[in-house]
Amino acid sequence: MILDQLLLALSPYLIFVCLVGVTLGILWGAMPGLSTTMAMALLIGLSTGMSQSVAIVFILGVFTGSVFGGAISAVLINIPGTPDAVPTMIEGYPLARRGEGGLALGTAIAASFLGNWIGILLLIALIPMVLKIALEFRSLEMFLLAMWGIAISGTMSAGKRPLKGWISGWIGLVFAFVGLDAIHAVPRYTFGSSILEDGINYIPVLIGLFGLSEILRVLPQQRPVGIPAEVGRVVPPLRTLWKYAGTSIRSGLIGTIIGAIPGAGANVASFLSYDIGRRRAKPEERKKWGTGSYEAIVCSEVANNANIGGSMLPTLTLGIPGSAAAAAFLAALELKNVVVGPTLQTEHPGLIYFIYIVLIIANFLMYGMAIVLVKPCIKLFSLPQTLLMPVILLICVLGSYAVALSYFDVYVMLAAGLVGYLLRRFGFPLAPMVLAIILGPLADENLRRALVVMEHKSFWTIVTDHPVGALLVLIVLYTFYDGIFRRR
Amino acid sequence: MSADNDDARLAKARAKLERGFQGEEDLEGLSTPQKDFIAACVIAAFSVFALVLAWQWHNPGHLRFTHPGLLPIIIGVTLFAMAVGLGVRAVREGGARNLGSIFARTPEGEEQGYGPRVWILIGLVTALVILVDIISFRIRIPIGGFEFKLSSFECTAIPVVTVIMKVFWRASWVRCFLVAAVTAMALAAAFRYGFKIPMPGVD
């Protein structure tokens, strides 16, 4: 089975598609204002016309490329292409001003390559174990897991104000209930409209929240075009990376673990790894932090790339996206009738191996293309955002229409974009809302099923029958307790 | 001047890292007590509305646990409680005073004219979406063995995108039109011929 998937993934056409995806991802990530999540959300629409394997290869290629791409503008024009590249900017730009831009970017490329490897290897190692546990989950556990996913996503994305993250998630849940209910087919929040009886398709919501709302935020800003610093020859310094082997492994572990937590993505991973790295750095090395440290670049870049593998873990095994970008990947899979979750291995045998192999191929291509694309990227920086954003607007319209060839979805995308823009203006995060819209129906159906099964059982019987469920209740309560009392 | 800007940006990023965990989404500086207070009021009203609707749904089953409004009611109640919590904190921080500050022409930390530009953009985007929906026609021109298709999408998108580019890019009308035309036609062709996805309306 693995060999079949390997041969499929190594077919020249799929390698070419992966190369296109990685190239597009690097260029996209390098452009300030264009995030990985935005790229992923827009690509779902494009992937509707692709076969399952082509869509997976293309989207994973873009995911891998765009996470690294953010480092290019961070080092060369002092503007992070993606938010997780801020630590790389703090360290890389001073190096570029000293004429070491090529070496700084080379370090970032090598660290990203290594980070991806750590993420992929941990994913391969942990998936069988998590799938085994997930297969034991029943309705109660699935409900609690979905609710914990939304709650922790609120906590992780809103930072010091988790209440706002939870509110965003809870609003998403209300929208998730629109349509016929799964048990009795009672219309909920449909206001007599037959279109709403099918529910709100979350793909146009995703495009609106991460595509249109970003256009509304970025296009009216009058940001001057960046002037790139000297780049020099880009050489990934493998000897430097060997020097920081311990730091790399630690950062990779941080990135993967953070990636596996719903709502926490590359941004949290990169900041946390940078912070821990600074505390643990040797005194002579610590002096360089903040003014151009190669070790700091390794910390940040290894972590944010390892995050890709980590975010795939809950996405593939539990159907709970590890990050907003992973939510877009999950949406693309569902468009291809792939239902991820505990039964992934039995319902889609071999798919998981295909995903591993594609991630590895994308990583190799990212390494090569990153070296090739650094200099062409410099020319891209002269392109004003005011030129790019209207083009992306058209992709939002066509992409949301393409999902089901329904123009109603374009209106959903518009509404989601406006709501997303307003929520951001008022300081509410968007990822919990997307997660809630995806997980809402799952939570609703499983809660009601669980309650029916448990109707005549005593409290203690329920607890002894569902030890994992009891543990999850405690985890959910702790998540709220931690958010309310410890983050004040 | 550019070096000063670069240093300021680096100092801002360093200060941000010093402040510790800020969350996955960069929301720093976006909240004010006044904004939180207004958001709390709107969310409380929304949760009551959702709750009342959920309460009215009938249960075709014989078990109360299978009521279609069970989770929506729980979510409505807890959302209301969260909105109250947000509102109470906002009032404690002085959010009920000086509410007009959120409608200020140029709020603190925002560049001059940003707000009006956003409203113009929202208007143009809404116009694009509505126009593509209501205008529907197609033109087919046979060129040799190939049939060149032009749908109402391109014809509507080109003028609206030209206006968006003129407002925000500020290049000449001709340049904006040419860029809008090339990109709209290229995108439509990519979707239509590359991804085999028909354009909205008749294609």
- CA-based nearest residue in chain B for residue A221: B114
What does each C-alpha distance from A364 to A79, A91, A361 come to in angstroms? 26, 25, 5
Which tens digit of pLDDT belongs to each residue from A257-291?
A: 999 988 788 888 898 899 899 888 888 888 888 88
Q: What's the gap in Å between the CA of A420 and the closest CA on chain B?
A: 13
The shortest CB-CB distance from A46 to any of B26, B195, B199 is to B195
Hey, which residues 394-433 in chain A have their CB within 8 Å of chain B? 394-395, 397-398, 401-402, 405, 407, 410-411, 414, 417-418, 421, 424-431
Collapsing DSSP states into helix, strand and coil, what is residue B143? strand
The shortest CB-CB distance from A447 to any of B22, B71, B117 is to B71
Confidence (pLDDT) at A183: 85
C-alpha R_g of chain A: 22
Q: Average per-residue pLDDT in chain A?
A: 89
Does residue A309 carry a pLDDT above 90?
yes
Q: In the A/B pair of chains, how many CB contacts fall below 8 A?
A: 255
Confidence (pLDDT) at A226: 62
For residue A8, the number of C-alpha atoms closer than 13 Å in the C-beta half-sphere is 19
**pTM above 0.90?**
no
Chain B residues whose beta carbon lies within 8 Å of the beta carbon of residue A79: 9
Does residue A331 carry a pLDDT above 50?
yes
Tokens of A7: 């041969």
Confidence (pLDDT) at B2: 60
Q: Please indicate if any CB of chain A lies within 8 Å of the CB of B2.
A: yes
- CA-based nearest residue in chain A for residue B72: A174
Sequence-separated (6 or more) residues with CB below 8 Å from residue A161: A427, A487, B27, B31
Chain A residues whose beta carbon lies within 8 Å of the beta carbon of residue B114: 220-221
Q: What's the gap in Å between the CA of A359 and the closest CA on chain B?
A: 23
CB contact under 8 A, A427 and B161: no
CB contact under 8 A, A451 and B66: yes
d(CA A265, CA A293): 23
CB contact under 8 A, B197 and A49: yes
Among A174, A382, A385, A445, the strongest candidate for a mutation testing the B interface, having the largest count of B CBs within 10 A, is A174
Q: Please indicate if any CB of chain B lies within 8 Å of the CB of A481.
A: no
Which tens digit of pLDDT belongs to each residue from A209-259?
A: 989 998 998 888 876 666 666 677 777 777 777 888 899 999 999 999 999
- CA-based nearest residue in chain A for residue B55: A188
Percent with pLDDT over 90 in chain A:
48
CB contact under 8 A, B27 and A407: no
Q: Please indicate if any CB of chain B lies within 8 Å of the CB of A3.
A: no
- With residue B2 as reference, give the H or E element that holds it: helix B2-18
Confidence (pLDDT) at B29: 75
Does residue A488 carry a pLDDT above 60?
no
Closest CA to B34 of B104, B109, B94: B94
Name residues of chain B where pLDDT drops below 70.
Answer: 1-4, 20-21, 63-64, 104-111, 203
Among A437-451, A469-483, B134-148, B162-176, which stretch is predicted with the lowest mean pLDDT? B134-148
Phi/psi at B140 (5° precision): -125, 120
Confidence (pLDDT) at B1: 47
Confidence (pLDDT) at B105: 54
Which tens digit of pLDDT belongs to each residue from B61-118?
A: 776 677 899 999 999 999 999 999 999 999 999 888 877 777 765 555 566 777 888 9
The shortest CB-CB distance from B184 to any of A93, A394, A417 is to A394
Q: Please indicate if any CB of chain A lies within 8 Å of the CB of B196.
A: yes
Q: Please indicate if any CB of chain A lies within 8 Å of the CB of B159.
A: no
Confidence (pLDDT) at A370: 92
Hey, which residues 49-78 in chain B have their CB within 8 Å of chain A? 50, 53-54, 57-61, 63, 65-72, 75-76, 78
Which tens digit of pLDDT belongs to each residue from A101-117?
A: 888 999 999 999 999 99
The shortest CB-CB distance from A452 to any of B38, B50, B65 is to B65
Q: What's the gap in Å between the CA of A423 and the closest CA on chain B?
A: 9
Q: What's the gap in Å between the CA of B174 and the closest CA on chain A?
A: 14
Q: Please indicate if any CB of chain A lies within 8 Å of the CB of B122.
A: yes
Q: Sorting pLDDT into bands at 50, 70 and 90, what band is A180?
A: very high
Q: Average per-residue pLDDT in chain B?
A: 85
3-state secondary structure chain A: CHHHHHHHHCCHHHHHHHHHHHHHHHHHHHCCCCCHHHHHHHHHHHHCCCCHHHHHHHHHHHHHHHHHHHHHHHHHCCCCCCHHHHHHHHHHHHHHHCCCHHHHHHHHHHHHHHHHHHHHHHHHHHHHHHHHHHHCCCHHHHHHHHHHHHHHHHHHHHCCCHHHHHHHHHHHHHHHCCEECCCCCCEECCCCCHHHHCCCCHHHHHHHHHHHHHHHHHCCCCCCCCCCCCCCCCCCCHHHHHHCHHHHHHHHHHHHHHHHCCCCCHHHHHHHHHHHHHHHCCHHHHCCCCCCCHHHHHHHHHHHHHHHHHHHHHHHHHCCCCCHHHHHHHHHHHHCCCCCCCCHHHHCCCHHHHHHHHHHHHHHHHHHHHHHHHHHHHHHCCCCHHHHHHHHHHHHHHHHHHHHCCCHHHHHHHHHHHHHHHHHHCCCCCHHHHHHHHHHHHHHHHHHHHHHHCCCCCHHHHHHHCHHHHHHHHHHHHHHHHHHHHCC
Which tens digit of pLDDT belongs to each residue from A353-395?
A: 999 999 999 999 999 999 998 888 877 777 777 888 898 999 9
Q: What's the gap in Å between the CA of A386 and the closest CA on chain B?
A: 5
Q: Please indicate if any CB of chain B lies within 8 Å of the CB of A230.
A: no
Hey, which residues 351-380 in chain A have their CB within 8 Å of chain B? none
Give the single-character DSSP code of B148.
Answer: E
CB contact under 8 A, B25 and A267: yes
Q: What's the gap in Å between the CA of B148 and the closest CA on chain A?
A: 19
